[in-house]
Chain A
Amino acid sequence: MPERRLLFEHIDVPGIEGIDVYEREGGYRSLRKAVKEMSPDDVVKEVMTSNLRGRGGAGFPTGRKWSFLPKDGRTRYLVCNGDESEPGTCKDQEIIYRIPHLLLEGVLTSAYAIEAEHAFIYLRGEFKGGYLRLGRAIAEARAKGYLGDNVLGTGRRLEVTLYLGAGAYICGEETALLESLEGRRGMPRLKPPFPATSGLYDLPTVVNNVETLAAVVPIVAMGGAEYAKLGTKESAGTKLFSVSGNVRRPGNYEVELGKVTLGELLNDLAGGPPAGHTFKAAIPGGSSVPFLPPDKFDTPLDYESMRQAGTMLGSGGVIVLDDRASIVDTSLRLMEFYRHESCGKCTPCREGTMWLEQALRRMVTGDGRHGDLKTLEGLMAHIDGQTFCPLGDAAIAALGSALRLFRGEFVSCIAAQDHPLEEVAQ
Chain B
Amino acid sequence: MNAEHLEEAKRLLTAFPGKSSALIPILHLVEDEFGYIPEQEVEVVADLMGVTTAYVEAVLSFYSLFHRQPTGKYLIQVCRGLSCHLCGADDLARFLHEELGVERGGTSDDGLFTVEEVECLALCKDAPVVQVNLEYRPRVSKDDLQRLIAECRQGVAQHA
The reply to whether the CB of A307 lies closer than 8 angstroms to some CB of chain B is: no
The reply to whether the CB of B17 lies closer than 8 angstroms to some CB of chain A is: yes
Cross-chain contact A250 with B21 (CB below 8 angstroms):
no
The reply to whether the CB of B109 lies closer than 8 angstroms to some CB of chain A is: no
Chain B proximity of A272: nearest CB distance (Å): 16
Tell me the chain A residues, 154-187 only, with Cβ under 8 Å from chain B.
161, 163-169, 180-187
Among B80, B124, B131, contact of A242 (Cβ-Cβ < 8 Å): B124
Cross-chain contact A126 with B131 (CB below 8 angstroms):
yes
A184 to B77, CA, bound (A): 25
The reply to whether the CB of A223 lies closer than 8 angstroms to some CB of chain B is: no
Tell me the chain B residues, 1-53 only, with Cβ under 8 Å from chain A.
15-18, 20-25, 27-28
The reply to whether the CB of A38 lies closer than 8 angstroms to some CB of chain B is: no
The reply to whether the CB of A287 lies closer than 8 angstroms to some CB of chain B is: yes
Given known pairs A89-B124, A90-B123, A185-B62, the reply for A287 and B82 (CB within 8 Å) is: yes
Given known pairs A245-B87, A325-B86, A333-B80, the reply for A180 and B64 (CB within 8 Å) is: no
Nearest A residue to B58 via CB reads: A185
Chain B proximity of A174: nearest CB distance (Å): 16
A166 to B65, CA, bound (A): 5
Residues in chain B near residue A325, CB distance under 8 A: 86
Cross-chain contact B119 with A333 (CB below 8 angstroms):
no
A128 to B85, CA, bound (A): 23
Residues in chain A near residue B127, CB distance under 8 A: 244-245, 250
Cross-chain contact B65 with A92 (CB below 8 angstroms):
no
The bracket for how many chain A residues form the interface is 35 or more
The reply to whether the CB of A239 lies closer than 8 angstroms to some CB of chain B is: no
Cross-chain contact A319 with B82 (CB below 8 angstroms):
yes
A391 to B82, CA, bound (A): 17
A397 to B98, CA, bound (A): 36
Residues in chain A near residue B124, CB distance under 8 A: 87-90, 242, 244-245, 250, 317, 319
Chain A proximity of B26: nearest CB distance (Å): 9
Tell me the chain A residues, 78-127 only, with Cβ under 8 Å from chain B.
84-90, 92-93, 118, 124-127
Cross-chain contact A161 with B16 (CB below 8 angstroms):
yes
The reply to whether the CB of A246 lies closer than 8 angstroms to some CB of chain B is: yes
Chain B proximity of A340: nearest CB distance (Å): 6
Residues in chain B near residue A166, CB distance under 8 A: 24, 27-28, 60, 63-66
A161 to B131, CA, bound (A): 25
Cross-chain contact A84 with B122 (CB below 8 angstroms):
yes
Residues in chain A near residue B16, CB distance under 8 A: 161
Most buried by B among A84, A244, A246: A244
Cross-chain contact A93 with B123 (CB below 8 angstroms):
yes
Task: Give residues in A with beta carbon < 8 Å to B.
Answer: 84-90, 92-93, 118, 124-129, 161, 163-169, 180-187, 200-201, 242-246, 250-252, 283, 287, 317, 319, 321, 325, 330, 333-334, 337, 340-341, 343
* Additional pairs, 19, CB under 8 Å, beyond known A167-B65, A182-B21: A87-B120, A88-B124, A90-B125, A90-B126, A126-B77, A165-B24, A166-B28, A168-B64, A181-B21, A183-B22, A183-B24, A186-B63, A244-B83, A244-B125, A250-B127, A330-B85, A333-B80, A333-B82, A343-B62
